[in-house]
């Protein structure tokens, strides 16, 4: 299989195998008017298998979304065919409009214009709590 290198864009690397479609959805990559390559189940010495996403256009990537989905992802910024920056992620302390509260009594259910705010409550469990009602949301790995 041959996937061309990109000249200007973003490469998301070290994605846990099978998580690339989650990232595609959360980052709304289907709305881009450029080439997006999803490479699944690539052999990796560190992970065994991994996914890679190549975006053939410069863009701002929501690092909070990526950190929430998989904090081990690396974000490589490519300019003129050369990696100019490599970003390492972490679990975000605060998520705004990334996940939504499932508690039917939460104020965000009745007031849809309020931002959905979740705060990291337990990094080991990847657990977040709604800023309004304290409902817990845990991201399964």
Are 65 and 104 in a shared domain? no
What domain range is 82 assigned to?
Answer: 9-88
What is the CATH number for 113? 2.30.30
| Six-digit token string for 54 | 């190549």
CB 39 within 8 A of CB 51: yes
> How does pLDDT run across 85-138, given as a tens digit for each residue?
999 999 999 999 989 999 999 999 888 899 999 999 999 999 999 999 999 998
> How does pLDDT run across 5-44, given as a tens digit for each residue?
788 999 999 999 988 998 998 889 999 988 899 999 988 8
Note the pTM of the prediction, 2 decimals.
0.81
């Amino acid at each position: 299989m041959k996937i061309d290198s990109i000249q200007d864009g973003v490469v998301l690397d070290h994605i846990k195998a099978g998580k690339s479609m989650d990232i595609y959805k959360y980052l709304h990559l289907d709305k881009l008017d450029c080439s997006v390559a999803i490479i699944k189940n690539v052999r990796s010495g560190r992970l065994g298998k991994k996914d890679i996403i190549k975006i053939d256009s410069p863009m701002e990537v929501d690092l909070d979304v990526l950190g929430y989905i998989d904090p081990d992802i690396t974000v490589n910024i490519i300019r003129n065919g050369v990696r100019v920056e490599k970003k390492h992620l972490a679990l975000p302390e605060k998520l705004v409009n990334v996940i939504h509260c499932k508690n039917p009594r939460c104020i965000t259910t009745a007031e849809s214009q309020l931002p959905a705010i979740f705060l990291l409550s337990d990094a080991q469990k990847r657990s977040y709590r709604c800023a309004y009602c304290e409902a817990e949301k845990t991201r399964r790995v």
